[in-house]
């Protein structure tokens, strides 16, 4: 195997094993920050040794063994050795004598602990996202920075601060139980869906989508569904992401421009992802989660997925589902989406008062989709001059270049129609 081939093999192993490696080390040293550093040390050792010795038969076990040895060395080098640290070192030394298929022992529990720790509410949203992509997604700081269009130094600072915050707050490496579980699980699901959404509809930059982030979020969601098979909202989120991801190929035109849902070529929708999403939705409903926020959104996405042509979409059911979602999680954005569904079911005149009632909402003051939706309704009502103003306002608010182009084009089209 050439040096380049070995390096590619190491990169592939790291993507597969890094989360499990960090999870196992975090259980051993009880510190996510230290575990991530130890895992990086093991990776460096692999980069140094494998080109000469070759990739071992069990690379994950090799990395775990190196990480544990480095942990023992670090603890021994501490200036002040507390009794607890001495016991921890002895535990690690003992574990090194265990045959290394041990990497698979309790790995599900370890990964679940790592998920809940990386997404702990003590961290800011940005920090939770960055740390999750780092320790669970296996992404480098450079890759995270590139995906979110922020400086690499910013991402590095977020990760360092996150690890320090977890250590200072003495966040336990455990799966919460009892009344704490629901709130902590909601934090985990929020992080995964934030990652997916940034990939599905990029908030900034030149691209309409960043498929690699969608793929990372889907992978995390599927892992979570395996680790927590009895949690209905986990399956609801997976269902939502699977169904939304099924449209990815149809959402972007040949030149990279956005293609709206009603104009997409549905033959390009991924039927395998749709089937997986609908199966996950059924699982969520069987577990009693039909009215969970993610399951409701997945049910809405399912209505679109089942319609082979746009005109066959059950918009009345979608409007009803949005009404229920608005009761479960009241939000002006949910109400805006309900207005779109109402406009498709009952016409733009029925939806415009709903949208106009949202104009005073402080949370939507800089939300570009509010004037975009209003412009669409006004265009369909033949009020082209007013529609142009709304599309131009929406274009000024969005930070995504492709979306801005689309909105400017719609503004020009309505301006032309108003003159004729």
**Bigger pLDDT: 85 or 236?**
236
**pLDDT at residue 86, rounded to an integer:** 55
Strand partners, 258: 252
Q: Quick one: three-class SS letters along the chain?
A: CCHHHHHHHHHHHHHHHHHHHHHHHHHHHCCHHHHHHHHHHHHHHHHHHHHHHCCCCCHHHHHHHHHHHHHHHHHHHCCCCCHHHHHHHHHHHHHHCCCHHHHHCCHHHHHHHHHHHHCCCCCCHHHHHHHHHHHCCCCCHHHHHHHHCCCHHHHHHHHHHHHHHHHHCCCCCCCCCCCHHHHHHHHHHHHHHHHHHHHHCCCEECCCCCHHHHHHHHHHHHHHHHHCCCCHHHHHHHHHHHHHHCCHHHCECCCCCECCHHHCCHHHCCHHHHHHHHHHHHHHHHCCCCCCHHHHHHHHHHHHHHCCCHHHCCHHHHHHHHHHHHHHCCCHHHHHHHHHHHHHHHCHHHHHHHHHCCCCCHHHCCCCHHHHHHHHHHHHCCCHHHHHHHHHHHHHHCEEHHHHHHHHHHHHHHHHHHHC
**pLDDT at residue 102, rounded to an integer:** 41
**pLDDT at residue 95, rounded to an integer:** 57
**pLDDT at residue 80, rounded to an integer:** 44
**pLDDT at residue 88, rounded to an integer:** 55
Contact 133, 195 (CB under 8 A): yes
Cβ-based neighbours of 153, under 8 Å, separated by 6 or more: none
Tokens of 60: 């994950």
Is the pLDDT score of 78 beyond 70? no
**pLDDT at residue 104, rounded to an integer:** 38
Averaged over 230-256, what is the pLDDT? 93
Contact 375, 390 (CB under 8 A): yes
Averaged over 329-339, what is the pLDDT? 95
Give the confidence band of 100 by pLDDT, cuts at 50, 70, 90.
Answer: very low
* Burial of 420 (C-beta count, 10 Å sphere; 0-12/13-18/19+): exposed
Strand partners, 252: 258
Distance CA 256, CA 252 (A): 5
- Mean per-residue pLDDT over the chain, rounded: 87
**pLDDT at residue 411, rounded to an integer:** 96
Give me the helix-helix angle, 180-200 and 125-135, nearest 10°.
80
Is the four-CA dihedral 146, 152, 154, 158 of positive or negative sign? positive
Beta-carbon neighbour count of residue 8 at 10 Å? 12
Q: For residue 400, report the phi and psi dihedrals to the nearest 5 degrees.
A: -95, 125
Q: Lowest-pLDDT range, 29-33, 120-124, 241-245?
A: 29-33
Is the pLDDT score of 285 beyond 90? yes
Q: Lowest-pLDDT range, 113-122, 123-132, 178-187, 404-413?
A: 178-187
Most confident region among 29-38, 66-75, 125-134, 338-347 by mean pLDDT: 338-347
**pLDDT at residue 97, rounded to an integer:** 55
Is the pLDDT score of 238 beyond 80? yes
Over residues 343-378, the pLDDT tens digits come to 999 999 999 999 999 999 998 999 999 999 999 999
Is the pLDDT score of 72 beyond 70? yes
pTM score = 0.76
Give the confidence band of 92 by pLDDT, cuts at 50, 70, 90.
Answer: low
């Amino acid at each position: 195997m050439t040096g380049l081939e070995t390096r590619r093999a190491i990169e592939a192993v790291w993507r597969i094993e890094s989360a499990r490696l960090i999870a196992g080390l975090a259980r051993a040293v009880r510190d996510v920050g230290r575990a991530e550093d130890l895992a990086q040390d093991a990776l460096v050792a692999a980069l140094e040794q494998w080109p000469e010795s070759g990739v071992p038969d069990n690379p994950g076990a090799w990395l775990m063994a190196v990480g544990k040895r480095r942990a023992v060395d670090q603890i021994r080098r501490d200036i002040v050795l507390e009794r607890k640290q001495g016991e921890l070192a002895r535990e690690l030394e003992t574990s090194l004598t265990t045959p290394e298929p041990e990497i698979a022992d309790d790995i599900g529990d370890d990964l679940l602990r790592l998920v809940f720790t990386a997404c702990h509410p003590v961290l800011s949203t940005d920090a939770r996202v960055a740390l999750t992509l780092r320790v669970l997604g296996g992404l480098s700081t450079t890759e995270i920075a590139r995906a979110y269009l922020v400086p690499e130094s910013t991402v590095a600072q977020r990760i360092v601060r996150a690890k320090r915050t977890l250590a200072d707050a003495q966040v336990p490496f455990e799966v919460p139980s009892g009344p704490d579980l629901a709130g902590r699980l909601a934090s985990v699901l929020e992080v995964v869906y934030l990652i997916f959404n940034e990939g599905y509809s990029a908030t900034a930059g030149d691209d309409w989508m960043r498929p690699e982030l969608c793929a990372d979020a889907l992978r995390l969601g599927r892992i979570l569904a395996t680790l927590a098979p009895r949690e209905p909202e986990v399956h609801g989120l997976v269902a939502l992401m699977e169904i939304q991801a099924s449209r990815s190929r149809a959402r972007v035109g040949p030149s990279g421009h956005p293609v709206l849902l009603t104009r997409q070529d549905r033959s390009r929708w991924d039927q395998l992802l749709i089937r997986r999403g609908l199966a996950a939705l059924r699982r969520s409903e069987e577990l009693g989660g039909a009215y969970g926020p993610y399951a409701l959104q997945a049910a809405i996405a399912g209505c679109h997925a089942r319609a082979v042509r746009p005109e066959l979409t059950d918009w009345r059911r979608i409007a009803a589902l949005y009404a229920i979602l608005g009761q479960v999680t009241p939000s002006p954005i949910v109400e805006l989406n309900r207005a779109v569904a109402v406009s498709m079911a009952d016409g733009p005149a029925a939806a415009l008062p709903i949208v106009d009632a949202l104009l005073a909402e402080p949370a939507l003051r800089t939300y570009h989709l509010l004037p975009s939706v209003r412009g669409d309704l006004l265009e369909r009502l033949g009020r082209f001059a007013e529609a142009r103003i709304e599309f131009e306002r929406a274009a000024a608010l969005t930070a995504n270049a492709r979306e801005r182009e689309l909105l400017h084009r719609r503004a020009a089209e309505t301006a032309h129609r108003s003159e004729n």
